Structure 1
Amino acid sequence: MNPVSFLSVPRARLWAGGAAIALLAGAAGFGLAALTRAPSEQAAPENAGGKVLYWYDPMVPNQHFDKPGKSPFMDMQLVPKYAGDAGSEAGVRIDPALTQSLGMRTAAAHRGTLGGAISATGVIAFNERDVAIVQPRAGGFVQRTYNRAPDDLIRAGAPIADLLIPDWGGAQQEYLAALGTGDAGLASAARQRLLLLGMPASTVADVKKHRRTRTVYTVTAPIGGTISTLDVRPGMTVAPGQTLAQINGLSSVWLDAAVPEAVAGSVSPGQRVTVSLSAFPGETRQGRVKNILPQAADKSRTLTVRIELPNPGLKLRPGMFAQVNFAGKERQALLVPSEAVIQTGKRSIVMLASGKGRYRPAEVRTGQTAGGQTEILAGLSEGEKVVTSGQFLIDSEASLAGMEVRPVSGEAGSGQTAKASSYEARGVIKKIGPAGVTLKHEPVPALGWPGMTMMFHLAKPMLAHGFKAGDQVRFTFTQKEAGPEIQSMSKEPGT
């Protein structure tokens, strides 16, 4: 259309077209707002006639105002909070139709059987109890080596080096001369001298049998395994007691498994384990826990559980990764689906479904997890319903509404108020620092802890006054979110 024809259009037709465009735009905006409006905003009209509790900025929900106006934080008007609105103590309200659309599901906390099995990863290592140090008992010269190198596999009795030992020559001649005299006492004394010079009994017997001297001695491997160090070369001079080689046996190996500190109380020496390795798919090996190392890893908060495994055929090599399953006893516990628990880093939260489309957050204290079920130690009662799908959406709405989370003390897994338990133990102070006291303590049966070295926070800094490293103490502590906290500490009598 040219400018002349456009200007010639009757003014009434232009007004009609503009009104139609405005009507369409308004309808589209209303539809978009209806789709994106939060559930609490949809419920506002029905509460509009209710009592206003306070006004707030949705971006800063914890700050309340006693009258309407413009937010001091954002360029927007304050929003009224009505009695019985979605942000009240009754909880977040979500329309049932929207609940169906989001596919939200709930499950009731129930008493059930919690499997006692624990899984952990581990690494195969040398059995440090099966180590042989190869040393000559007499000094001499290396005449020959047998093309050995570090990390070679070697069998028991295999030769390592031939040594020429000149000091044996004269002593063997005296022994042969004593044998020729027929004097049993003189021959016995000469034989004893050979043994004191470091000559093996088998070499002495060979001299006696063949009636000739032997000044070359072959050093052999006392056990089979792998050569970890080899410090012998042809032509070198060796002294008595000098280390020529070190051999690590492979008839059995250690498996060091990293078990989380939270479940370490369920592991004990002698417990049966099943081991599978990615190097041998489809194969499993049985073993038992040899011991639990006394110190926990600071960064990973795990305990090292050592398992000794037989190694027929030398198939298990140090450095291999393994999956370890610890057998355990099943027990009764209050359980919820694991997907219902929201881990914030500082605490664990579930969204309670109270009926009629209302939800509220509740803090819980969790225990072990097995088979998709998480143990609830405190914070829930049997029969309470929790959201298992869509709980993050409700949690976000509750945060915007400034709703407080029901504390753990509100309900307990047994239906009673949860109380902090105090535990008593004895130990030795290893270190006193600004963060707390590091103690090597005895086992704590009430928590299933073995004896270990770990750090305890102090309820009051003055509790460490008058103590020093090495003091034997008796102390009481409680379990906090940040870790164990000492409530009292005293020196043991006589220390």
Structure 2
Amino acid sequence: MSKNINVFGLLVLGVALGAVGTFSYLSLSGSGADTQHSVSAAQDEPLYWVAPMDPNYTSDKPGKSPMGMDLIPVYKKELGGIDAGPGTIMISPEVVNNLGVRTAKVELGLLHTKIETVGYVKYDEDQLIHVHPRVEGWIEKLYVKAAGDRVTVGQPLYEIYSPALVNAQEEYLLALDRNNSRLIQASRNRLKALQLPKNAITELKRSRKVKQNITFFAPQGGVVDNLNIREGFFVKPGNTLLSIGSLDQVWVDAEIFERQSSLVSTGLAVSMTLDYLPGKIWQGKVDYVYPTLDGKTRTLRVRLRFDNTQWELKPNMFAQVTIHAKGEEVLLVPKEAIIRTGSSDRVVLALGEGRYKSIAVKVGRYDEKFAEILSGVSAGDIVASSAQFLLDSESSKTSDFKRMNSQDEDENPAPSTVWVEASINSLMAGHRMLNMDHQAIAEWDWPAMTMDFTVADSVDFSALQPGLTLHVELSKSADGNVEVVMIHIPDGDISQGSDSDNSATTSGVVNSVMVDHRMVNISSGPIEKWNRPAAEVNFMVSDAVDMSVFKVGAKLHFTFEASDGQFIITTIKPMQMSDISGE
């Protein structure tokens, strides 16, 4: 989540305005403050002083921050007679404006859950017909030559010579000659039962001549499939001569994991993309949810239906599918309002009149914009959706729960360098600076946020570009300055000083297997090489790896590589749980 604190922008603004508007947490300081602020500050002695750009740097006396800026006094003010509990802080309106604090309301709403999987295109079996003869005979002429030929309704398919059809025609003519209405109706019904075309019966009655060869026509338009005959073949009733499938609509068979089965129901909207037409999205719906799971892979089959008026979708095509599941009404907050830590999740409540308090919450599912809150807040509460990590730093000093960096920090000092995943927002080449959204850094007690960083001379700045997602090594000096000293781009385009290998080795436990798609879900251990914590991940499996090794509950040691945004397992071997826990 982004905190949108642009250090470089604040520094430039501070220089341009001659440091007018320097912000503080609990009150404005300095001889230039107006009389009202001076009286307010005099009522309380400062509790401590804090660095403007680093809320974790505090001092019990005035001085300079590691970045050379004046420390800002922090005052404990009365909270308007309302006791909001430990951890409540008050911030002046000027500081709120300087920090760019935005708020959002906790609301009840539907969480847009997306299930992403893969599937295969197939014929709509409701519109797939099979052509069988009703008599024995020989195929004298075949009008369709190969599977895949397009046919239209009423188009000739084949001619057959059948003694049974010849006899049935003669019986009909004999009944007509005798002018016996019962015999005429019985013989006519027999011709219909043998599937003699209606126009052939009409022509027979008019011409009174028996045809040796009878032509049969396509009952519907579509594509010929399973063509099992050639001219001269002898056929019998029950033989499947050919099939005709309509492509105006198609089915897509997909599989989802067992844990996702409760989110899927008939009628849900589905979107689909295919590699052969990049950028095009097909919209469809869930047509049927199969009632049983696959006993081996523990997956549930789902049938999807899509319109295909241009016949662009062809059977057996591989597709990427997104099922847009409908969830129940839940409490929602913007995803960026969540402050993630190693042991808990928090939000900053906006209590009004400049008062804020950081509280613990229990978070459920996420979608692209919102997070589900299971407990901790109520509908109608107001939470901070930007600059909340600064507010949380102040609130946590006196709140009901401990800060992440405990008193044991002196015994286990934080490392001076860390690896973290980040996305580049913008570049300032003239200053060798960049603005990035980085993930949480537990070693430094940093939540995920947006910040400006300087880039070391050893890094190839030309390899960086906006929108790039990569791994960066950050180095913190003794005076608190942080810079990027090494980068790793997952697609293999690695800059100077980075590891050129885009593979990693770890261990894990198999949760589920999708054999047909060569996909497995594994609870993998941490990947120290890429600074990734333990997580549940979907892996593709290389063709060189035997899928039979993957069993639900199996404990494995495996190597995988990152390619085109996917993790692909390349080698694997079973291992004991004790080995996994010992890593």
Instruction: Provide the TM-score with structure 1 as the length reference.
Output: 0.47
Rg larger in structure:
1
